[in-house]
Amino acid sequence: MNQKDSTKLGVVVSGSLSQGILARLDSNTSVEDITVGHLVTIQGNTRRFFGMINDISLETSDPGILLTPPEAGEEFLASVLRGTTTYGTMQIVPYLTLGSDESLIEGPQPVKSIPSHFSPVYLASETDIELVFGKEGSKNFFIGNPLDMEVKLCLDLPEFVTRSNGVFGKSGTGKTFLTRMLLIGILQTDAAVNLVFDMHSEYGWMGTREKASPVKGLKQLFASRVSVFTLDEKSSQERRVSTDFVVHLGYDEIEPADIELLRQTLNLTDQAVSATYQMRQRFGQKWIEKALALESDGETEDVLKSLNIHEATFQNLIRGLNVICRLPFTSPHVETRAVDKVLEYLQSGKHVVLEFGRYRDITAYILVANLLTRRIYSRYRENTEKAMAENRPRPKPLVITIEEAHKFLNPAVAGQTIFGTIAREMRKYNTTLLVIDQRPSGIDEEVMSQLGTKITCLLDSEKDIDSVLAGMSGKSGLKSVIAKLSAKQQALVFGHAVPMPVAFRPRDYGSAESYEQFGKMPAVSDSQDLEDLW
């Protein structure tokens, strides 16, 4: 492809497939204009290579000059030496090849060779970006711009939702804005339906931002396609949020598996958790009511003895159950079960945001998210298996969004929770996760390895960075990219749904223009995209 309109940066001087390519900057290219994360192309003899800059350094051909460098005022001497005796280099990781016979037919291909010495290096052009990441269209959703470029970077959302995914970053880096944007993209492209467990009431009617006015949530932008459920009707009324359903949980809906996930937050012993299963087996669905009634029953000792439960274990369990029963949205029995209502809306194609209002305690969040997800997933599994047996279309893909994901997916519980099961099954039953967390190192390694696409904002913990990049080839270079991200409005996306890692600036969200753009979706066929590019 013609490189006339591209900016030439330098030439290849050395490198290897495993260590990356080293390129020397041209004398008229300032090292200060080169940024880690920039996308570049390298024009070889028979093919082009597409990659990313992950390091920059200063070099000299005469080490002696460093012993007597020009003085501060000797600009002429410094300019003479710059580009000849002293020069800059950039380390490039090539990811894809463009323009070979294979890529003409099948698109960009994974890199298997390297360019020859003195191959020219160019800043990637808009055409290059569109060829690799696709043009905005019916399935490609515009998520932002590559660093220091005004080209639209797109994400294939139907492909994105085929696996569980994650959004990471330390507090205040913009995870919520990124997540809200992804949810809008999934809605616009009709790639799946969303069920969002909205712990901080950021996604439904409106969201907050630092030192600025609130931003519109999904319900304001897509009123007919989004439903807001709430645990806290009073909070919704005070915020003037119109809700579709008020969620209440019956004690008879709560199973021992729901209590098991709350072991840490309720300070339950292993014996107390085991006792829940014994109680459920003895008393059936009303086991919580029966267990609480035992506390003042003179026959308690006989019952505990028959169940082989120690008195101290029983008291530990009762304390935990009382915490749950004091939650205002729980009661012995409810007429309309929340899981039935959620499924009704999801199956009709509506996206559901469940706001927690003032109930932001982690106990409430884990209880509700786990209880509803286990039952919804069970129904999805039944419906999917039935559809496969009857040779008819499967249920619409479902994306379940959870915050504070390490509470559900830490190594101690990930193997037993429904969230760990969904992450490992990779949409076996048309259900995937979108996990949001500022502490990815707290998530089980196996679960992290199963996340298809990861979008990470700035992380300042080495442990968190290592966790996010686990299993990635060339992760040392990506570590430097993550470490150099700005504290706000910059992120790195990599994994299953993108051809290669890319650092980007998320698109604007919160202005009148951005709201108008989110309501539009250009109808361009993907086959036509490729034809236009070539």
Domain ranges of the chain: 8-124, 154-222+336-533, 251-330
246/262 Cα distance (integer angstroms)? 23
Chain-centroid distance, C-alpha 100: 33
Q: What is the pLDDT of residue 487?
A: 87
Q: Kindly report which listed range (200-214, 340-354, 361-375) carries the lowest average pLDDT score.
A: 200-214
Q: What is the pLDDT of residue 531?
A: 35
Strands (E), 309-370: 330-331, 351-355
Mean pLDDT for all residues in the chain: 87
Predicted confidence band of residue 298 (pLDDT cuts 50, 70, 90): low
445/37 Cα distance (integer angstroms)? 26
Whether the pTM exceeds 0.85: the reply is: yes
Q: Helix, strand, or coil here: 143?
A: strand
Predicted confidence band of residue 169 (pLDDT cuts 50, 70, 90): very high
Q: How far is CA 314 from CA 263, 304, 326, 510, in A?
A: 14, 8, 18, 52
Q: Residues with Cβ < 8 Å from 175, sequence gap 6 or more?
A: 167, 168, 169, 436, 438, 457
Tokens encoding 219: 């319900």
Is pLDDT of 176 > 80? yes
Judge whether 107 and 530 are in contact, CB under 8 Å: yes
Q: What is the pLDDT of residue 72?
A: 65
210/206 Cα distance (integer angstroms)? 14
Which residues are bridge partners to 22 per DSSP? Answer: 14, 91
62/59 Cα distance (integer angstroms)? 9
Chain-centroid distance, C-alpha 119: 37
Is pLDDT of 451 > 90? yes
Predicted confidence band of residue 145 (pLDDT cuts 50, 70, 90): very high
> How many Cα atoms are found within 13 Å in the side-chain-facing hemisphere of 280?
18
Proportion of the chain above pLDDT 90, given as a percent: 58
Q: Helix, strand, or coil here: 58?
A: strand
Proportion of the chain above pLDDT 70, given as a percent: 90
Is pLDDT of 4 > 70? no
Q: Kindly report which listed range (61-75, 168-182, 331-345) carries the lowest average pLDDT score.
A: 61-75
* Mean pLDDT computed over 30-45: 90
Q: Residues with Cβ < 8 Å from 229, sequence gap 6 or more?
A: 243, 244, 245, 246, 247, 338, 341, 342, 352, 353, 354, 355
Q: What is the pLDDT of residue 67?
A: 65
Q: Helix, strand, or coil here: 448?
A: helix
- Quick one: CA torsion of 353, 358, 359, 362, rounded to 10 degrees? 90
* Mean pLDDT computed over 248-277: 93
* Mean pLDDT computed over 148-165: 93
Question: Locate tokens 């039953």: which residue?
Answer: 429
169/440 Cα distance (integer angstroms)? 8
Judge whether 491 and 506 are in contact, CB under 8 Å: yes
506/492 Cα distance (integer angstroms)? 10
Nearest to 231 by CA among 138, 353, 125: 353
* Mean pLDDT computed over 529-533: 34
223/308 Cα distance (integer angstroms)? 54
Pairing of strands 206-207, 431-437: unpaired
Q: Assign domain 154-222+336-533 to its CATH architecture.
A: 3-Layer(aba) Sandwich (3.40)
